Amino acid sequence: MHALVVSYAFPPTGGAGVARVLKLVKYLPAHGITPSVLTVANPSVPVVDRSRERDLAPDLDIVRARTFEPGYAAKQAAAAPVGGNGAPVGLVTRARRLAVRAARAALVPDAQILWQPGAYAALARRLASPRTRPDVVCISGPPFSQFLLAPLARLAPGTAVVLDYRDEWSTWRTTYENSSRAAALIGGPLERALVHSAHAITTATEAFRTNLLAQFPFLSPEHVHAIPNGYDPDDYPAELPTPPRDRFVVTYAGTIFKLTSARGLLGAVRKLHRDAPELARHLRVRFLGRIVEAELDAFEGMDALGVERLGYVEHARVTGELAASHLVLCLLDDVPGAERIYPAKIFELMHLGRPTLTLAAPGELADLVRAQRMGDLVGPRDEAGIAAVLERHLRAFVAGTPPAVMRAVDAGRYHRRALAGEFAQVFRDAKARATRA
């Protein structure tokens, strides 16, 4: 069986969204399925991570189609605030703002719609020839403009179409910073039309699955499957570094944006410095990853309190940096839809075994952390509760208590090889339905 996996997010692009598809492609051959990939040739993305490419098999067939998007730096410059500090706003500035707003409104469901002409042409060529036609086309979003390829793939006789939701389209178009009014209005009807093209659907959480079935009652529950994210032992160094003895290190790895805001944590650090300054001076809190502009104000003045911003770190280094910590963080702010989300990083923390502080409201993530006994769980804006947990850990550190080793209850369930096997079964079932149709 041959599966073509379509994903805009793929190496050398960096960031959390890459791992699900990358690890699927890595482990599908272990389950008797030969993968190939359709991705973007010139991605307009904030980070590049060449270390991810070590997971790519030398003989992996990768088709790269060009996008008409401007480079990411140009997009950032166009969207940057101008005319601040009371300066007058000229005609050119006004025109630029209007142009940016118009472009954002027109690019529905997302800016990567500009990749669709190239992706359509590349997919059409694959489908046109019996020699290159895949048994299954699996399209993984976001960006959800990729789902527009599903009707084209559905036209190929005997080819199954699988839509993979790494995130929820409904949350993406209404909650995140990159959402627009047009995307919110058009996205619902568009999503309804496109899911009709799928022989099967996979989601990253069971709550995603439940919500999708509630939105679209015409979907058959047996054709919608929850397959979580996971971890890959190959991402961890053979010998993990140990935390330092002269300071207590807390580390977060990932992007800081609206969904993963650190405002509650940073407020707790300030409280700890006010209430227990002698204890707090041992604390170092490190952030590895990009921090979006809308969240930067929360970090003002935090350098003096031991908060370090290291920027994006290649994934090959991340697990070592996390291991060199006494406490690792998982953040999920209390925003609409967050109760249905697992940040993908939680599974890597699960396998790492370091004590984990998870800041999350009641929901899927909180239930997972409790079930796997991963450590402390506090509300994301409960500054007093977070400060109390940090103080307890700091007192144990000062007393010389060695850091605990956490052992998840059912970590094997989330090994990327096992999860690829679940995808393989979905692909086979979808192929059988497509063949019968």
Do 142 and 7 fall within a single domain?
yes
Number of domains in the chain: 2
Q: Please, what's the b/e burial string for 22-45 (b: 16 or more CB within 10 A of its CB; e: otherwise)?
A: bbbbbbbeebebebbbbbbeebbb
Could you tell me if 317 and 374 lie in one domain?
yes
Same domain (yes/no): 27, 38: yes
Residue pLDDT, tens place only, 229-250: 999 999 998 888 999 999 999 9
Statement to judge: residues 343 and 225 lie in one domain: no
Residues 16 and 148 in one domain: yes
Q: pLDDT > 70: what percent of the chain? A: 91
Averaged pLDDT for residues 422-432 = 98
What is the mean predicted confidence (pLDDT) over 389-396?
97
> Any idea what the CATH number is for the domain that residue 58 is in?
3.40.50.2000
Full-prediction pTM beyond 0.85? yes
Looking at the structure, tell me whether residues 408 and 420 fall in a common domain. no
Widest Cα–Cα separation across the chain: 71
Same domain assignment for residues 242 and 198: no
Q: What is the pLDDT of residue 97?
A: 63
The residue range of the domain holding 288 is 233-412
218, 282: one domain = no
Average pLDDT over residues 105-111: 80
Q: Supply the pLDDT for residue 84.
A: 47
Q: Which of the four pLDDT bands, split at 50, 70 and 90, describes residue 410?
A: confident
193 and 246, same structural domain?
Answer: no
| Same structural domain, 24 and 156 | yes
Same domain, yes or no, for 282 and 214? no
Burial annotation 149-182 (CB, 10 A radius, 16+ → b, else e): bbebbbebeebbbbbbbbbbbbbbbbbbebbbee
Q: Kindly report, residue by residue over 304-359, the tens digit of the pLDDT.
A: 999 999 999 999 899 999 999 999 999 999 998 899 998 999 999 999 989 999 99
Domain match, 298 and 384 both: yes
pLDDT tens digit string along 144-200?
Answer: 999 999 999 999 999 999 999 999 998 877 665 556 666 677 888 999 999 999 999
